[in-house]
Structure 1
Amino acid sequence: MQATRFVETNDGRVGLDQFASRPHDALAAALQQELDAVNTLINEKMSSRHAPRIPEVTAHLVGAGGKRLRPMLTLAAAKLCGYAGGYHIHLAATVEFIHTATLLHDDVVDESKQRRGRPTANLLWDNQSSVLVGDYLFARAFQLMVEPGNLRVLDILAGASSTIAEGEVLQLTVAQDIKTSEETYLQVIRGKTAALFSAATQSGAVLAEAPEEHVEALFTYGDALGVAFQMADDLLDYGGDSAQTGKNVGDDFRERKLTLPVIRAIAAADDTERAFWERTIGRGKQAEGDLEQALALMDKHGTLESTRKTAHDWSQKARDALTVLPESDLRTILSDLAAYVVSRLT
């Protein structure tokens, strides 16, 4: 297995051009046999004798080119902790089903028209199909997660499913509320993104009966990786490459999403600036030039740069968590992955 390598700059950041290859590709190569087994199990379990629309809708999303990052984290954690059984395949498929179910539901809630460069399932079929197929996948996930017969693993993954739903409802209830705090934002992204990352890594370690120190380390790694991943995604909305991100610059602003750079700009705003945010985000009355004004205010208060630093800090926290685990190429790839998710921000 060839580990990915990179060179840090003096300030600890890592740029895209410093990677010999993408860490998630290296991870996929290292786990190819296990991933093949996961894909076989997914295809088997997403079938339905009585409702052919279920495999149609699921195959559309599953086949849309996702990286299988979350199930790979489960496989990697189990393997890193010396697991020699076969139930990590079931847990990895569980994680992917939970993720796919949430995507189907999210696209309905957000009224999305495109995902991964393809029309969403709710657009091709209808909202009812997306919601019900998502429910079916959640049910399949619970069937799979009980097969290892490990109550702690079941508690971790069931708890993550609850946290994800809670995070989505919280995001809905605080949407467009310019009084939203950083603490609430962190709670939202921990729910919508980090909860499944940490459940993926922690459940793999628990399944392997790893020492508690290693279980806690892999939970911390997954949690910090998920937070860094989502913060980077939110920041790229205000300056990323659309070809790479699949988003147009300013989509979050136009959709009135309160992400960290905006929350910090509002917290630093004077009365005139606060009135701007209340009009554009709070009331949704946006006009030509407002995006440029929003970017200027974030630049004025340094919130894009401070968010970039915070994302890098979370990435570093993820990398630091791995140091208690035995050195291996797999550990190196996971560390590189944490650096890579923020590498587009330099």
Structure 2
Amino acid sequence: MDQVVTQKPHELLAETLSTKMAAVNTLIQTRMASEHAPRIPEVTAHLVNAGGKRLRPMLTLAAAKLCGYAGEDDVKLAATVEFIHTATLLHDDVVDESGQRRGRPTANLLWDNKSSVLVGDYLFSRSFQLMVETGSLQVLDILANASATIAEGEVLQMTAASDLKTDESIYLQVVRGKTAALFSAATQVGGVIAEASDTQVQALYDYGDALGIAFQIADDLLDYQGDAKTTGKNVGDDFRERKLTLPVIKAVAQATDEERAFWTRTIEKGRQEDGDLEQALALMAKYQTLEATRADALVWAAKAKDALNVLPETAIRTMLVDLADYVVARLH
């Protein structure tokens, strides 16, 4: 019994879904193979085997199980979701010129940008093959829309990231695109494949959407107050990369003319000097924007939990509720 108490929700979920997750992993390994281009499995394996939590495919399996699904198509959809996620990571690292992900060198650093982009394209193609195999037009519609929304979110972030006119509504649009779209699609297709009611499918979408937003807000907050060993990022990476995330957006909204000039120089113009990160943190402390950001993350986590109320009261539902709490528990 003690083991259950000390396990993290995603670990408990992984254990409960272990048989299905093993099938997902086998399918991923099979479908990322390429007879003619050995670099494809090399690059893909570097990311796929990097030790991520596989949260998104688990959400698909959990949603299907919660709605009583007993078939095999949930495995194909979970692999689809992981392929879309991996493809976007490959593309993101090129766009962001990243050198590290999850504490390891990125694919674009180990190989090159061309390989990362083309292998990402290959994985997108594989994901569409898998979703077509389920024979569900609704599933195809949901995941195709999610793929378009993710790309849209990334392009919006590229234009809005260093623009001080970016407000909380634009930030939310970016987060919905780059993170929440795949969370909500992952949970929604699980319900669709299980032939759940429209109300339940909508609830699963709402859960994924709110969970994804809470997850990203928490991630952005941890950039300024997290532990580098835990997060795999150095404190202030977003500031150094001139990314306007919620803690900074809240500080800019309340800034004096002098403070706004500081944000213009460091974020918009990218002219950063020694001591600027400390000054940025001091301004966030002045307006208590880290606390306000944490409060926003908690609101979205609560929305995620509320969305599950219309779904069957099972152990899986409890795990999904606990997962929403866990996403923001990192912020204490």
TM-score by length of 2: 0.98
Q: Return the alpha-carbon distance in structure 1 between the equivalents of residues 293 and 4 of structure 2.
A: 26
Task: Note if contact 1:4-1:336 (Cα within 8 Å) is conserved in structure 2.
Answer: no
Over residues 257-302 of structure 1, what are the superposed CA-to-partner deviations in whole Å (9 max), with x where a residue is unaligned? Answer: 0000100100000101101100111111111111111111111111
Matches within 5 A, 1:59-98: 59-98=45-84
Task: Note if contact 1:94-1:142 (Cα within 8 Å) is conserved in structure 2.
Answer: yes
Gaps of 5+ in 2: none
Identity %: 73
Mark the CA change 1:133 to 1:162 in structure 2 (over 3 Å): closer, same or farther: same
Matches within 5 A, 1:1-346: 20-346=6-332
Q: Return the alpha-carbon distance in structure 2 between the equivalents of residues 311 and 224 of structure 1.
A: 9
Amino acid at match of 1:259: T
- Report how far residue 324 of structure 1 moved: 1.1
Q: Return the alpha-carbon distance in structure 2 between the equivalents of residues 156 and 3 of structure 1.
A: 37
Q: Return the alpha-carbon distance in structure 1 between the equivalents of residues 67 and 33 of structure 2.
A: 32
Amino acid at match of 2:120: G
Q: Return the alpha-carbon distance in structure 2 between the equivalents of residues 239 and 147 of structure 1.
A: 44
Higher share of residues assigned helix:
2
Amino acid at match of 1:343: A
Task: Note if contact 1:3-1:333 (Cα within 8 Å) is conserved in structure 2.
Answer: no
Q: Return the alpha-carbon distance in structure 2 between the equivalents of residues 281 and 55 of structure 1.
A: 38
Q: Return the alpha-carbon distance in structure 2 between the equivalents of residues 278 and 126 of structure 1.
A: 33
Mark the CA change 1:222 to 1:142 in structure 2 (over 3 Å): closer, same or farther: same
Q: Return the alpha-carbon distance in structure 2 between the equivalents of residues 286 and 51 of structure 1.
A: 43
- Report how far residue 175 of structure 1 moved: 2.4
- Report how far residue 113 of structure 1 moved: 0.8
Q: Which runs of 4+ in 1 moved over 6 A?
A: none
Q: Return the alpha-carbon distance in structure 2 between the equivalents of residues 283 and 306 of structure 1.
A: 26
Q: Return the alpha-carbon distance in structure 2 between the equivalents of residues 118 and 287 of structure 1.
A: 28
User: Counterpart of 1:341 in 2: which secondary structure?
Assistant: helix
Gaps of 5+ in 1: 6-19
Q: Return the alpha-carbon distance in structure 1 between the equivalents of residues 301 and 15 of structure 2.
A: 23
Amino acid at match of 2:325: A
Amino acid at match of 1:287: E
TM-score by length of 1: 0.94
- Report how far residue 2 of structure 1 moved: 9.6
- Report how far residue 340 of structure 1 moved: 0.3
Q: Aligned-residue CA RMSD in angstroms?
A: 1.2
User: Counterpart of 2:164 in 1: which secondary structure?
Assistant: coil
Q: Return the alpha-carbon distance in structure 1 between the equivalents of residues 28 and 226 of structure 2.
A: 33
